Structure 1
Amino acid sequence: MSIQPRDNHFKVDRDNKAKLSNSEFSFICQFVYQTTGIVLNESKREMVYRRFTRIVREKKLASFSKYCQLLESNPEQEKDYFINAITTNLTSFFREQHHFDYLIQTELPNLLQTKKRQGNGKKRLRIWSSASSTGEEPYSIAMTLHSIFKNELSEWDAKILATDIDSNVLNKGKSGIYDQKRVEDIPQHFLEEYFYQGKAHNLNNVKVTSNLQRLITFKRLNLLNEWPMKGPFDIIFCRNVIIYFDKVTQQDLFARYYDLLAPGGLFILGHSENLGEFQKYFEHAGRTMFRKPV
């Protein structure tokens, strides 16, 4: 008696790229662009292949084309799952350290003194991490803010908005729980002040303190869609996300960020990004840092 396979699930042969046809790759690129504005080109084909393979396996489908058909017939039902699976979420605590050095040495002390002179009552401070991924960036901002304002923070209406298109990474950020290896490069005094060590079966994890979590609101946001927040923001982080959009979309997003920045507000890009033609509306404040004129 022979044993037959129980299903016809997707299997990968040695000729990986032959499994993802040009028409399927083109369909995926177009779907991602129309849904998120993110541009995928031939250089991303291997990345798309790897993630698409995982999607098809999880869905227990027989081929890439089957999932393309599913996306085409049920785009609203499938798009959140698909975008979560296909988008990149590379991040770390205090990534591009020079930005946080500038906050500590210049920007936050200046804001602290400037807003103190504005009169009585709670002083308002708003910071937006617009591609927050799993939360390392907004928590790095929160640690930096807390270290400068210290006990005075209770006198402030200070909030950090953390947004991302991927609901899975937002949930990770909300939890505030990270593997011990993720926090190895955080300065020791920050680790001691802002993290709890896990115990028992959580011994290899750490959790951020509640005073940091209270500063941050995590919200799902597709940058191409309507932005419900009104601003103004004193500081906006827009790092390592603009590179995934085409030039027209980039300039449109820069205009929208500009409108939400307070006069004198700071706009921060990633190390490989620039403002292009929109540079003329900003003043240069440092490496990939730009200030909206007062």
Structure 2
Amino acid sequence: MSIEANAGHAGNSFSPMLISDADFQRMVTFIKSNYGIDLSHKRQLITGRLSPTIRKMGYSSFSDFVTHLLEKKDADEITMILNKLTTNYTFFMREQEHLEYFRQRIIPDLIRRHQRDKVLSIWSAGCSSGEEPYNITMYLFDYLGTQARQWDTRILATDISANALTSAKKGIYELPETMPTDWKRKYFTKNPDGTYTVVPSVRDNVIFQTFNLMNPINFRRKFDVIFCRNVMIYFDQPTKDALVGRFYDATVPGGYLLISYSENLSQNSPYHRLTTATFQK
């Protein structure tokens, strides 16, 4: 076979599959209405990232795959799609100014409020691979010191991706240089391959659960603090506003919402601005 023929064959195998306007719209509408993710301007992303997988599944066209997806609504296939079209990327000490504000201002406030019941209610919404809720736990344990055992500091950590939560529960990571040396000693065990495993006391403080942020928020307790950072970047403004409204209803009076620097609340948000990307009810 000639070089030209080989090149053409490779192009057919690895080039993105075409998707019709109708099938693109069907997929965009399904993902947005069920998961809040706005892919209306991500046509190239969809074809580029999904084409190899669709071919491996035996589909010769996007049309057949989209029809199958909408008819079956298979949870594993939907999770696969969401994993490929969004970025489950996070790391310890991310947006450290938020965490410092949490340490210096929010934790002392919560400890004062809960001196009697000694129960904190914190939610890491869209926790991805788990670094955020573990990081929050370390700040809490550091602040409370020997009194930590007297408090219920368990954190709810949710994500739509079951794969991300499976990884999070293992608690095995490569640590950034910004991780404090004493935290490496107190809160991690070093593995032979150079990675680190979160110690059991920290892992046990986090309750991982799959949850779709488009669903009603009906947890047993209202939250003192909700972390939802770098999640709403995938949502359009009406979807963000609706989610923030549900967050507001799910926080206690005086509760906090922490979002990322790249996200903003609309002018008529029920939260009042405190600092950049930190809001109080």
TM-score bracket for the superposition, by shorter chain length: 0.7 to 0.9
C-alpha contact (below 8 Å) 1:254/1:278 kept by paired residues:
no
Match of 1:50 in 2: 48
Match of 2:5 in 1: none
Q: Equivalences for 1:40-119 in 2 at 5 Å?
A: 40-42=39-41, 44-76=42-74, 78-116=77-115, 119=116
CA distance in 1 between partners of 2:44 and 2:51 (Å): 10
**Following TM superposition, by how much is the alpha carbon of 1:11 offset from its aligned partner in structure 2, in angstroms?**
6.9
CA distance in 2 between partners of 1:288 and 1:84 (Å): 26
TM value normalised by structure 2: 0.88
Match of 1:291 in 2: 280
CA distance in 2 between partners of 1:32 and 1:114 (Å): 40
Runs of 4+ in 1 over 4 A off after TM superposition: none
CA distance in 2 between partners of 1:160 and 1:133 (Å): 14
Residue 158 of structure 1 aligns to a residue whose secondary structure is coil
Q: 1:148 to 1:260 in 2, by over 3 A?
A: same
CA distance in 2 between partners of 1:135 and 1:264 (Å): 26
**Following TM superposition, by how much is the alpha carbon of 1:76 offset from its aligned partner in structure 2, in angstroms?**
4.0
Q: 1:54 to 1:18 in 2, by over 3 A?
A: closer
Match of 2:12 in 1: 13
CA distance in 2 between partners of 1:69 and 1:11 (Å): 27
**Following TM superposition, by how much is the alpha carbon of 1:236 offset from its aligned partner in structure 2, in angstroms?**
0.5
Residue by residue over 1:124-146, the C-alpha shift from the partner in whole angstroms, topping out at 9 and shown as x without a partner, is 10110101001111111111111
Match of 1:189 in 2: 182
CA distance in 1 between partners of 2:222 and 2:171 (Å): 26
**Following TM superposition, by how much is the alpha carbon of 1:14 offset from its aligned partner in structure 2, in angstroms?**
8.7
Letter in 1 for 2:64: K
Residue by residue over 1:87-118, the C-alpha shift from the partner in whole angstroms, topping out at 9 and shown as x without a partner, is 321211121111001011121123223422xx
2:204 pairs, out of 193, 198, 214, with 214
TM value normalised by structure 1: 0.84
Residue 153 of structure 2 aligns to a residue whose secondary structure is strand
CA distance in 1 between partners of 2:107 and 2:36 (Å): 33
Match of 2:263 in 1: 273
Q: 1:184 to 1:50 in 2, by over 3 A?
A: farther
Match of 1:124 in 2: 119
Q: Equivalences for 1:142-157 in 2 at 5 Å?
A: 142-157=137-152
C-alpha contact (below 8 Å) 1:12/1:19 kept by paired residues:
no
Percentage of pairs with the same residue: 34
| Structure 1 unaligned spans of 5+ | 3-9
Residue by residue over 1:188-227, the C-alpha shift from the partner in whole angstroms, topping out at 9 and shown as x without a partner, is 221221111113xxx2321101111111000000111133
Residue 140 (structure 1) aligned with residue 139 (structure 2): no
Residue 196 of structure 1 aligns to a residue whose secondary structure is strand
Letter in 2 for 1:249: T
**Following TM superposition, by how much is the alpha carbon of 1:18 offset from its aligned partner in structure 2, in angstroms?**
5.9
Q: 1:46 to 1:90 in 2, by over 3 A?
A: farther
Letter in 1 for 2:138: M
Match of 1:198 in 2: 191
C-alpha contact (below 8 Å) 2:14/2:52 kept by paired residues:
no
**Following TM superposition, by how much is the alpha carbon of 1:68 offset from its aligned partner in structure 2, in angstroms?**
1.7
| Structure 2 unaligned spans of 5+ | 2-8
Q: Which is further off, 239-248 or 150-159?
A: 239-248
Residue by residue over 1:36-72, the C-alpha shift from the partner in whole angstroms, topping out at 9 and shown as x without a partner, is 0211132x33332232124214424333333223213
CA distance in 1 between partners of 2:128 and 2:250 (Å): 21
Q: 1:144 to 1:47 in 2, by over 3 A?
A: farther
Alpha-carbon RMSD across the aligned residues, in angstroms, is: 2.4
